[in-house]
Chains A and B, each alone.
Chain A
Amino acid sequence: MTSSTLSAVAAGSAVTRLAVRQVRRGALVILAVTVGMSTLVAATYLRTVGAGLDAGALAALARNPAIRTLFGEPVALDTAGGFTVWRTGTVLAVLLSVWGVLTTTRVTRGEEDTGRWDLLLAGRPTRPALLGRHLAVLTAAMALIGVTLSAALIAAGTPPRGALLHATGLVLTGTLAVAAAAVAAQVFPARAGATGAALGFLGVGLLARMVGDGVPVLGWLRWLPPYGPLALTRPYRDDRWAPLLVLVLASIVLAGAALALAERRDVRDGLLRPATGRPPRRWLLHSVAAFAARRTLGPLAGWSAGIGAYFLLIGLLADSMTGFLADNPRFADLAGQAGFAGLGTVRGYTATLFALLAVPVGAFAAVRLAALAAAEASGRLTLLLAGPVTRTRLSYAEVAITAVGMAVLVTVAAVATWLGATIVGADLALPAALAGTWNVLPVASLGVGAAVLALGRAPHAVTAVGLVPTAGGFLLKVVADSVEAPAWVSGLSPFAHLAAVPAAGPDWPAAAVISALAGVAVLVGAWGYRRRDLHV
């Protein structure tokens, strides 16, 4: 080897190490959740489902469009593997692909936007090489998750063919999401736009799969990536590999496109360039709070669209779902064990699904406060804070605007559910829907509290800490209920104290205690934020 190829190799592996450092922590968390959830469901299959399912009940389940739409088409529920795929497959596919999108845009476009790639690109690596290395590392991370998952499923006693197929499908879904995000990162002028577009692609894909699963004549929609082909593989029953070809081809095409486009654009500029000059838009610039509102409007519209679409679907399915569960009490029992009790009436069904709403609404809050921390880290807050603006006021303004955003989101969810239910003639009044969605606000506000605490103490971890009470609490409750853990374990989850509104009345004392905890967390966090050094 000549010395120049030697140093090219060295430069390449330096980039690889950089990429590994940036994704390894997230990858390990995702790996733990993926493998943990799958193993748990597979290992407890006998105890939770066991022999309680007869052929007639299964056939009814497999035919019901509501079940198929929400949870995917049930296949091989009479085996531990098949049941695991049905219970966790969609959730894990969404988890892996969303993580893939967020990480890809963060380590490629995000790093580029901060100017750090300028330094790398001034050295040896070309732009496609730099992007390629990062994509390779992310693909390797997905593969590692897949290998561990299939090993765990085989160890849990499920047949190797199905385990491999299921894990491969999940890996390919994640890889495809990475490739799609890489393309978006070339096209859009900044990271936020690229992330939004890639998440939109996933959302449309999920909708296509839901409709394809639920409406037999539109079954061909399931050939659309990234989630549909997963449903077609039918692991642990038919073990079809062919549908995965769609994912492989789509990934290759998208990754190739991303690498080709990477060369055709300027660094820190997308292929889409907004006009370089425009007249000023002066609305919502007159105060710190107004500016917080201005920055929140765009993201809020995106979150509203996503949450609105999901709950419209929930409303549309209300009748068919509750009818099915009323006719098949065994499934109502099963759902109850998994934390979804009372699905047999419209009010019970909506109450159960409204509880879920605390997770995205809490995530919205965490992400908004993380955006404030990111603005600080990039130095954008410095000029604002050089004015007579205290950090206390800045953080309270952000919290207030975030709270308004959360109220908007739960209202959107209520109206969408009510609209869907009304269209199919299910019995759900708008005030009942509103009561149900507003009921989750105290739990979701724990997300605000945790995020502000992190803002004061560990500003680089605002999103992760902010998700602990809501996403973490939900996971804790589901897992604790599934393994029949002692009551105090699931009692740690705020969801254990969430009344099933509108099936029942609100639990005012619990709501008051939870809100007070969130309020204290905000006060303590804002105090810490005021007292610490600004991290620039």
Chain B
Amino acid sequence: MAAPAIRTHQLTKRYGALLALDGLDLSVPAGEVFGFLGPNGAGKSTTIRLLLGLARPTAGQAWIFDTDAADVATAHRLLAYVPADVALWPQLTGAETLGLLAATGPGVDRAYRDELVDRFDLDLSKPARTYSTGNRQKVALIAAFSTRAPLLVLDEPTSGLDPLMELQFRRAVAAARDNGQTVFLCSHQLAEVEAVCDRVAILRAGRLVDVATVPELRRLHRTEVAAHFAGPVPDLHNLVGVDNVTQASGSVRFTLTGPPAPALAALAAADLTALSVREPSLEEIFLDYYGEATR
């Protein structure tokens, strides 16, 4: 089997008393589009900085295609990165910046770069000083995608893009996937994650909470059920996996987590006239995850 694009073992980062990342074990197989989610301050950017060797782990280790992440001369031949805040040399124009990054980076597909410049509609003649947040992000995205590197590490790459550009971004990710490239995408745009990611990991307060495909997450999480009855409404309060029960005359609403059999058995025993089941949106799933700490 091919080496995973990213592998970490007990990766830990401490900033003084603050444990920013706590023993992360993660493996992202080559060719996957992997979403990395979590509330603000969860440790996502910290993980990425460790993967890129920009910060040193307090404990543990990370590998990029089986190369130690600390060996940046080798590891960085295999990846391209878009930071959350893109800072460019203010006096260089977009074209000059792309030229510099192509010359010092892992390589460049010039034809594809020109195509991306067109698609992202970026004026390369302007000095970076005059670029808006979105335009700086476009420069970094074009530089990253045009490397055709086997691994793309993207930290909130679309936070400054308008919806049209966001669409172009999704196309570029899809093209990368078709190429067999791996994408490690950290984002707060759940619709985007849902649209492009094969699997997602959820990080909270430095710990990995869950890694799953999007449909799996759905299954694992609260399905909303509404049932209507001709006769008396059954009591569901003590069933496993059933929460948030609200009863009205002749109907009940509740959320269901885990295997549905016990709840369905209870419903079937009553005089059920209608049943509607709604899967949660990804957003609801994450509100669940993110909110757990405060509940």
Contact = CB atoms under 8 A, between A and B. Distances in A.
Nearest to A279: B125
Contacts of A190: 90-91, 129
Given A277-B123, A280-B96, A281-B96, A383 B55 contact: no
B83 A379 contact: yes
A382 B104 contact: no
Interface in B75-117: 75-77, 79-81, 83, 85-91, 93, 95-96, 99-101, 103-106
A218 interface: no
Nearest to B83: A382
Contacts of A391: 72
B130 A276 contact: yes
Interface stretch (A227-235, A256-264, A403-411, A528-536): A528-536
A506 interface: no
A379 B52 contact: no
Question: Among the interface residues B81, B90, B123, B126, which one has the most CB atoms of the partner chain A within 10 A?
Answer: B90
Contacts of B95: 280
Contacts, number: 102
Interface string B33-67: 00000000000000001001011100000000000
A286 interface: yes
Contact of A278 (B79, B86, B93, B103): B93
A285 interface: yes
B143 interface: yes
B74 A388 contact: yes
Interface string A265-288: 000000000101111111001111
Nearest to B94: A280
A7 interface: no
Contacts of A536: 54
B124 interface: yes
B140 interface: yes
A305 interface: no
B93 A388 contact: no
Contacts of B2: none
B103 A287 contact: yes
A533 B55 contact: yes
B265 interface: no
A193 B55 CA distance: 33
Given A280-B124, A285-B96, A291-B100, A388 B85 contact: no
Contact of A387 (B56, B104, B125): B104
Given A285-B100, A378-B87, A382-B83, A278 B125 contact: yes
A385 interface: yes
Contacts of A384: 100-101, 104
Nearest to A392: B73
A534 B105 contact: no
B76 A389 contact: yes
A386 B76 contact: yes
B76 A387 contact: yes
B127 interface: yes
A380 interface: yes
Interface size range on B against A: 35 or more
Nearest to B92: A285
A126 interface: no
Given A277-B126, A387-B76, A382 B103 contact: no
A390 interface: yes
A533 B101 CA distance: 22
B93 A534 contact: no
A533 B96 contact: no
Contacts of A531: 56
Interface residues of A, number: 35
Contacts of A278: 93, 125, 127
Given A276-B127, A388-B74, A531-B56, A383 B140 contact: yes
B126 A189 contact: no
A370 B126 CA distance: 27
Nearest to A382: B83
A384 B100 CA distance: 8
Contacts of B80: 386
Interface string A171-213: 0000000000000000001100000000000000000000000
Nearest to B81: A386
A290 to B, nearest CB: 8
Contact of B106 (A274, A288, A388): A388
Given A276-B130, A380-B88, A385 B99 contact: no
A276 B126 contact: yes
Contacts of B85: 379
Given A276-B126, A280-B93, A383 B143 contact: yes
A534 B56 CA distance: 9
A382 B104 CA distance: 12
Contacts of B49: 533-534
Given A278-B93, A378-B87, A533-B55, A383 B101 contact: yes
A190 B130 CA distance: 12
A531 to B, nearest CB: 7
A282 B73 contact: no
Interface in A109-130: 113
Contact of A534 (B54, B81, B99): B54
Interface in A518-536: 531-534, 536
Nearest to B103: A286
Contacts of A390: 72-73
B104 to A, nearest CB: 5
16 contacts: A279-B125, A280-B99, A282-B99, A285-B100, A287-B104, A378-B87, A379-B86, A379-B87, A382-B83, A383-B87, A385-B54, A386-B80, A388-B76, A388-B106, A533-B49, A536-B54
Interface of A: 113, 189-190, 274, 276-282, 285-288, 291, 375, 378-380, 382-391, 531-534, 536
Q: Which 6 A-B pairs have the closest CB atoms?
A: A379-B87, A386-B81, A277-B125, A280-B95, A533-B55, A388-B76
Interface of B: 49, 52, 54-56, 72-77, 79-81, 83, 85-91, 93, 95-96, 99-101, 103-106, 123-127, 129-130, 140, 143
Given A380-B88, A384-B101, 16 more contacts: A190-B129, A278-B93, A285-B96, A285-B99, A379-B83, A379-B86, A382-B87, A383-B88, A383-B143, A387-B106, A388-B73, A388-B74, A388-B106, A389-B73, A389-B104, A536-B54
